[in-house]
Amino acid sequence: MIVEINQKAMQIDGEPTETVLEFLRRHGLKGTKEGCASGDCGACTVMVADRATGLGRQSDPFKTFNACIAPIGQFAGESIVTVEGLAQGDKLHPAQQSMMDCHGSQCGFCTPGFVMSLAALVENGATDFATDDDSVREQVQLGISGNLCRCTGYKPIVEAGQAALAAAHDSWLYVDASVSKHQSEGVTDVESDVESEVESQVKNEAANQGVYLPESLKEMNAFIMQFPTARLIAGGTDLMLEVTQLYRDIDQMISVNKVAELTELTIEMHEGKEICRIGAAVTYQDIELALGQRSPALVDLLHRLGSTQIRNRGTLGGNFGNGSPIADMPPVFMVLDGVLNIGSSSGAKRASSIEDFYLDYRQTSLAADEYIVSVEFPVQALTDFHRFYKNSKRIEDDISSVLGAFRFEGCPDQISKAAIAFGGMAAMPVKLKEVEAKLEGATLDDELMSQAVQLLSMAMQPMTDVRASAAYRLRMAQTMLERALREFRGEHLPQVTEVRHA
Amino acid sequence: MRKLGKTSRSDSDQNGPDGSDLGSSSVGVNKNHDSSLKHVMGTANYVDDIAEPRGMLFVATGLSTQAHARIVSLDLDPVKTSKGVVDVIVHDDIPGDPDVSPVYTGDLLLAKDLVSYVGQPLFAVAATTQRLAQQAARKAVVEYEQLEAILTSEAALKQSSFVLPTRTFVMGDADAQMKAAPNKLEGEQMVRGQEHFYLEGQVALVVPLEDGGVHVHASSQHPSEVQKLVASVLGVNLNQVQTEVRRMGGGFGGKESQAAIPGCMAAIFAIRNNRAVKYRMPRHDDMVQTGKRHDFWNRYRCGFDADGRLLGVDMELAGLCGFSADLSEGIVDRAMFHADNAYYLNTARIVGYRCKTNTVSNTAFRGFGGPKGMMAVEAMMEDVALSLGKDPLDVRKANLYAQGRDETPYGQKVEQHILSELIDQLETSADYRARRASIVAFNKAANENASQLLKGISLTPVKFGISFTSTHLNQAGALMHVYTDGSIQINHGGTEMGQGLHTKIAQIVAQTLGIDYSRITVTATRTDKVPNTSPTAASSGTDMNGMAAQDAATQIRDRLTVFIADHFKTEKTNISFANDCINVAGEPHGFADMVQLAYMNRVQLSATGFYKTPEIHFDKQAGKGHPFYYFACGAAVSEVLVDRTTGEYKVTQVDILHDVGDSLNPAIDIGQIEGGFVQGMGWLTTEELLWDDTGRLISNSPANYKIPTAYDVPEKFNVQLFAAQNYKPTIYRSKAVGEPPLMLAISVWCALRDACAASANYKIAPKLNSPATFEQVYWAIDDLQDQLKQKQS
């Protein structure tokens, strides 16, 4: 197995769970730091050159991610850039130069991670279409949303990002997106880089390393049959915490990231309706790119789901599959009338409503040989009135205390169809059928709104934990419902989280 | 002496494109951090980045799951037989003294038969990889006999459970004054602690030496303490142990006493196995097993006149120290020293309790207790203003120290009164009065229309005492070598944790010798170069080590002067050092040439420097004295926008005017101010340390303990330096800057409180604890609405 690091081919030679961070540091590339080993601080940020998107569009060529929770085995055949790969001789990358010029480093430990996040913005031309300073600033903030700094207070780093974006428009890094070049010293056995040879070598050696990289469902099914105890891994943003926080070993992993059927996002006509089908291995970032135009509300929510680094790796299937009651996507797709398509290594297929998918706390209806193939929903739902509200202790990169999702059809004084779902309010994501029924068909006046809001306290018994008290959670759920209803009636209720520029 | 320094980070006229000095002055200019190029390249080495010696072992510790319990049995067989394990130690295996307390006693490196908090290390494992060590450490089977645990300050107070005796400052007869006062009020507040969250966790790499000694690569603010404790646990003399600190990935006080632990643990394994050993705490272990900022439960009563002027104040400050004293003596003292903040209390009684609880032993954190005392008096200012219907700023101004109203509760007189002018200047530049008027109008309309958004604004000052309150720590040393090519190494007792200390030291040396800044390299802090050093703490790093470095440089300059005068047969007064040259009777000679000449003529080109802070003394028993050399001051205006339906808020604007005396490096000082402010804002807003009712820390990872991100920092964030030199002869008349700006963030908490108060038309004092999370703000407003309804019915 070969991975390209800073355009130099390197042999993947460790345990299956070895992370990109561990791999880099073991090979002497120590600019990439471990701050948390859980994908929360960004000191380990590196980027990967995106080769194929399958989405029929040009996406960002460089994607940042947290090296601390990404297994190196998943990057066979990929090209990774680290902080050591930015400067060209004595010439610093614009992101590095700006960080120096703006006094953006103090203790310096988080600095390589920030430099990588800013470099990705520069390389991706993040602000090519920026119309004003505010939107440049917003792009910089988003780009570093997964980078924590404890020294500077961020101001000089944001300024450095703005300066780097203002200074540079030409792409600085060059990574051949079609064929890995493996032109380096030291790895002689792959210098003849005929693509098919590399590919077969990748597959064979992957098998030896315990990380399997199927490219089709058929191949994936074969691997599952062969290794029934292997864990399926997509972005690894949740699974890898078992490895880095609980120190569990995982002997075999089957990566779904390259499975063609799982990485597609399609919108097609089906029985007269436009149906959007999102493959389980499609990342949040790609969902935003594909659906952002149709739903600003979804974009706003996605910007508060993890960080840029997490959204570049985390997938829709993972958000459902881990069964968490505080996942942000299940309530959203519940109200969008989403359906889960489930596959099996036996080749069997079934569809499940999202409500039926969840059985209890972290328990889903997935059998041992089953996996999520895709989530599909009628695109029409995004043209209805819909709102997604998130409450968390910190605005960026925080897990929801309460997530409320709402979709209403009808006219301002009468809802014909209501869809209401919450996360963080019970052992699993919940859809509130009684409340929906209460609202549907009745005159939407203050009295009805008040009754519906009151019903919530009967319908849900949230718990108290480190994120919020039960009482606050219930109040927030009620506030969210009332806000959604009032907005449906035509009021505009601003949220402080919208106020990026006061 | 020199022209007034710059007051902005963007003035960089004296910096070349590579950061080199183009002018003759080295202090007062915006030099880049001396490691900034390495930072951005990823080539700055931290302890974990040092090339690992062959056969190195990695340490992990087994942690207590109980808050207070007797260890009935500890079965380590599964640990010893776990893959990769080379050695396992328990308390009795420690060759020397197992107590690693910094000042008093009670901090055991490994628990003996009693555990005192969840997360306390019971045993340690050394294995061939970090991962195998961690896996092994989880395999011990421990049987406990549970004992009753004290988990809160309230419970500790009730049971008189203290780590150290209670102290009181008394000034005049506060009771009599309060009794006679026309107005009185009382209040209480819970102010939670703070996790340091330095990005680089605790770490040490220890290499065994001959004669039973060790070389410790530490990430420590206090290398001499690491040396002392490593020698003590090994049972060897101090001269067998050297500690080296190149840089830390953040410290903030968390690496003052706590950083000795990984060094001690690794040193024991290094000697036992004659192998290099590294102990790097994973983030979770670091969060649960090392100390944090103290929780404080503050209660206050005061009497005041119609202008809001305080007549008598009674305060009780109860610090939650955890299971041992650690540095809590000084920390609670400093809370008491700053319970006045910038205000003359007239008469006062200030009591400081050091509560003993079955939680991790809390430790130093930027501000060292000071922020907790200030929180009490700033809440009092807000309460007094609300009760009189006044703008809190007017109440604050009425209470500022001034001529004739200058005695602190601990007997020191405030000598320099700059806050009045500083506040006036900020009030104008931030347009405080007009903004307050428009905010009050906005809130009035919001209440009338029952609309969701409210605003708040507050201006709060900071007056922070500079010096260690333990007088003996106020000393520093430096060692300077001039080499024959004219390059210079300077070493000093301070450590670099990002604050730019080494940069300022190089600037000071360059200025003293009139030479180019690029000649100077500041080398890693080592206990075998400068001995018996004080921690880099109490904001004193530059004040003390800068003076020591200047002393060394001055000695070299004087020796060169004597030699050159003799050699060129001229008067010493004809010799001057400037523009990277030594001028002899008007003729410039290159510095390197003169150094070479001096060497050939056998002039000593190495010097040690020393400094001790003058004037300070304090009688701990009497609670009176002169503990601070001077005070650093500042003020901030913060504005917030609050959604009363959720408690969610955004800090929309911050304006700061801060006093660093004559700045040695405005860019670095402004960086300290901005960074300190945001760290303080995190402490008071999103960073919520929570324990469950068994004493287990539940905010134990960055997934559930949330420090600010870039989004949380307001776009309108204006920071200016106040133009006034230090009235004391400090290094180039600068002032310390490390800690004071953190407390400027109290303005954010006060602004949130102001917005809460607005929901009840500024008639009732809100109950807002800290951190003021969205949830806390929501309940504070909810509680006010309930009180309003009760009043109306």
Q: pLDDT per residue over A250-293, tens digit each?
A: 999 999 999 999 999 999 999 999 999 999 999 999 999 999 99
Say if residue A205 is in the same domain as residue A71: yes
Question: What is the 3 state secondary structure string of B754-767?
Answer: HHHHHCCCCCCCCC
- Angstrom distance (rounded) from CA A419 to CA A335: 5
Residues B553 and B577 in one domain: yes
Residue A188: exposure state from Cβ atoms within 10 A (0-12, 13-18, ≥19): exposed
pLDDT of B166-199, one tens digit each?
A: 999 999 999 999 999 999 999 999 999 999 999 9
Domain boundary among A239, A255, A271: A255
- In this model, does residue A170 exceed pLDDT 90? no
Residues B482 and B554 in one domain: yes
Task: Give me A334's structure tokens.
Answer: 């519940």
B389: left (phi over 0), alpha (psi -120 to 50) or beta: left
Q: What is the CATH number of the domain that holds A65?
A: 3.10.20.30
As a whole number of angstroms, the distance between CA A179 and CA B142 comes to 55
Q: State chain A's mean pLDDT as an integer.
A: 90
Annotated catalytic residue B739: yes
**Burial class of residue B94 (count of CB atoms within 10 Å of its CB; 0-12, 13-18, 19+):** buried
Q: Which residue segment(s) compose the domain that A140 sits in?
A: 94-167
DSSP A90: T
B591: domain range? 475-612
A180 and A76 within one domain: yes
* pLDDT on residue A174: 57
Q: A94: closest CA among A115, A114, A113?
A: A115
Instruction: Give the CATH number, domain containing residue A99.
Output: 1.10.150.120
Pairing label, strands B277-280, B57-63: parallel
Radius of gyration, alpha carbons of chain B: 27
Location of structure tokens 């809100």: B766
Q: Does pLDDT of B13 surpass 60?
A: no
Predicted pLDDT at A186? 37
pLDDT above 50: residue B262: yes
Q: Are B542 and B607 part of one and the same domain?
A: yes
pLDDT for residue B781: 98
A107 and A80 within one domain: no
Separation CA B738–CA B499 (nearest Å): 7
Q: Which of A15, A248, A36, A19 is nearest to B281 (CA)?
A: A36
Residue B138 sits at φ, ψ, to 5 deg, of -85, -5
Contacts of B453 in chain A (CB under 8 A): 494, 496
Decide which of A207, A239, A255 is a domain's last residue.
Answer: A255
Q: How far apart are CA B779 and CA B642, in angstroms?
A: 13
Closest partner CB to A476 (pick from B45, B646, B699) = B646
Partners of B296 in the β-ladder:
B191, B319
Contact assessment for residue B688 and residue B771, using Cβ atoms and an 8 Å cutoff: yes
Q: Are B249 and B101 contained in the same domain? A: yes
Nearest residue of B to residue A33, measured between CA atoms: B200
ipTM over 0.90: yes
Q: Which residues of B474-504 are buried (b: 16+ CB within 10 A; e: fewer)?
A: bbbbbbbbbeeebebebbbbbbbbbbbbbbb
H-helix or E-strand containing B190? strand B183-191
Q: In what order do the strands lie in the sheet with B69-75?
A: B114-115, B69-75, B141-146
- Closest CA in chain B for residue A144: B710
Tokens of A455: 């019903």
User: From the CB of residue A45, how many other CB atoms can be counted at a distance below 10 Å?
Assistant: 31
Largest CA distance in chain A: 76
Q: Do A40 and B135 touch (CB under 8 A)?
A: no
* pLDDT score of A128: 72
Instruction: Give strand pairing partners of A211.
Output: A253
If asked whether residues B88 and B208 sit together in one domain, one would say yes
The verdict on a CB contact (< 8 Å) between B702 and A148 is yes
**What residues of chain B lie within 8 A of the CB of A33, using their CB?**
46, 48, 199-200, 249
Q: Judge if B97 and B66 occupy the same domain.
A: yes
Indicate the number of domains in chain B: 3
Pair of tokens at residue B404: 């004739």
Percent with pLDDT over 70 in chain A: 89
Domain count, chain A: 2
> Would the pLDDT of A192 be above 60?
no
pLDDT at A495: 86
User: Is B753 within the bounds of a domain?
Assistant: no
Residue A66 distance to chain B (closest CA, Å) = 14
Q: Determine which of A121-125, B250-254, B454-458, B490-494 has the lowest per-residue pLDDT on average.
A: A121-125
- CA distances, B201 to each of A489, B79, B756 (Å): 52, 24, 37
| C-alpha distance from residue A130 to each of A154, A191, A299 (Å) | 21, 42, 17
CA–CA gap between residue B531 and residue A73 (Å, rounded): 49
In three-state secondary structure terms, A378 is strand
Asked whether residue B283 falls in the same domain as residue B380, the answer is: no
Nearest CA in chain A to B31: A103
Give the C-alpha distances (Å, rounded to integers) separating B272 from A171, A415, A494, B88, B109.
54, 75, 64, 10, 16
What does the pLDDT read at residue A207? Answer: 53
Say yes or no to pLDDT of A440 above 80: yes
Q: Are residues A55 and A26 in the same domain?
A: yes
A107 chain-B contacts, CB cut-off 8 A? 198-200, 247-251, 497-498
Q: Is A446 exposed, middle or buried (0-12, 13-18, 19+ CB in 10 A)?
A: exposed
Is a pLDDT exceeding 60 seen at residue A85?
yes
Kindly list the residues from chain B whose CB atom is less than 8 angstroms away from the CB atom of residue A163: none
Does B81 lie in the same domain as B167?
no
Q: How confident is the model at residue A50 (pLDDT cuts 50, 70, 90)?
A: confident
Q: Is B37 on the interface with A (CB under 8 A)?
A: yes
Tokens 């303990």, residue located: B705
DSSP A381-401: GGGSEEEEEEE-SSSSS---S
Q: Do B41 and A30 touch (CB under 8 A)?
A: no
For residue range A25-39, list pLDDT tens digits in order. Answer: 999 999 999 999 999
pLDDT at residue A51 in the model: 58
> From the candidates A134, A466, A482, A493, which should be mutated to test the interface with B, based on the most B CB atoms within 10 A?
A466
Distance from the B208 Cα atom to the nearest Cα atom in chain A, whole angstroms = 23
CA distances to B256, B344, B361, B410, B421 from B400, rounded to whole Å, are 33, 6, 35, 16, 11
* A432 has pLDDT over 80: yes
Res B7: pLDDT:
57
Please provide the average confidence, as pLDDT, over all residues in chain B.
Answer: 96
- The size of chain A, in residues, is 502
Which of A80, A115, A394 to probe the B interface (max B CBs under 10 A)?
A: A394
- 3-state SS class at A412: coil
- B127 in the same domain as B251: yes
In three state form, how does the secondary structure of A47-63 look?
EEECCCCCCCCCCCCEE
Structure tokens at A472: 């606050």
One-letter-per-residue 3-state SS of B332-390: HHHHHHCCCCCECCCCEEEEEEEEECCCCCCCCCCCCCHHHHHHHHHHHHHHHHHHHCC
B242 touches chain A (CB under 8 A): no
- Do A149 and A9 have their domain in common? no
Residue A80 and residue A6 share a domain = yes
The span from the CA of A104 to the CA of A114, in Å, is 9
Query: How are beta strands B203-208 and B214-218 bridged, if at all?
Result: antiparallel
Is B384:B351 a contact under the CB 8 Å cutoff?
A: no
Of B496, B674, B688, B739, which one is the catalytic site residue? Answer: B739
List CB contacts of B274: < 8 A, sequence separation 6 or more: B208
Please tell me whether residues B189 and B233 are part of one structural domain: no
Amino acid at B588: P
Residue A50 lies in a domain: yes
Sort strands B214-218 and B241-245 into parallel, antiparallel or unpaired. parallel
Q: Who among A106, A112, A469 is closest to B498 (CB)?
A: A106
Strand B520-522 versus strand B488-492 pairing type: parallel
For residues B555 and B566, membership in a common domain is answered with yes
CA atoms of A488 and A286, how far apart (whole Å): 29
Give me the mean pLDDT over the A418-428 stretch: 96
Chain A interface test: which of B18, B20, B220, B646 (most A C-beta within 10 Å) = B646
Average pLDDT for A347-376: 96
Q: Does B641 touch chain A (CB under 8 A)?
A: yes
**Judgement on whether residues A115 and A8 belong to the same structural domain of the protein:** no
Distance of CA B754 to the CA centre of its chain: 28
**In this structure, is residue A285 part of a structural domain?**
no
Chain B residue with Cα closest to A139: B711
B42 and A83 within 8 Å at the Cβ level: the answer is yes
pLDDT tens digits, one per residue of B298-354: 999 999 999 999 999 999 999 999 999 999 999 999 999 999 999 999 999 999 999
Confidence of residue B25 (pLDDT cuts 50, 70, 90): confident
Angstrom distance (rounded) from CA B542 to CA B199? 23
Is the CB of residue A123 less than 8 Å from the CB of residue A56? no
In a domain, B769, yes or no: no
Is B443 domain-assigned? no
- Do the beta carbons of residue B651 and residue B714 sit within 8 Å? yes
Flag if B42 and A466 touch (Cβ within 8 Å). no
pLDDT at B414: 97
| Percent of chain A surpassing pLDDT 90 | 82
| pLDDT value of residue A59 | 64
**Interval A307-328: pLDDT, tens:** 999 999 999 999 999 999 999 9
Is residue B41 included in any domain, yes or no?
no
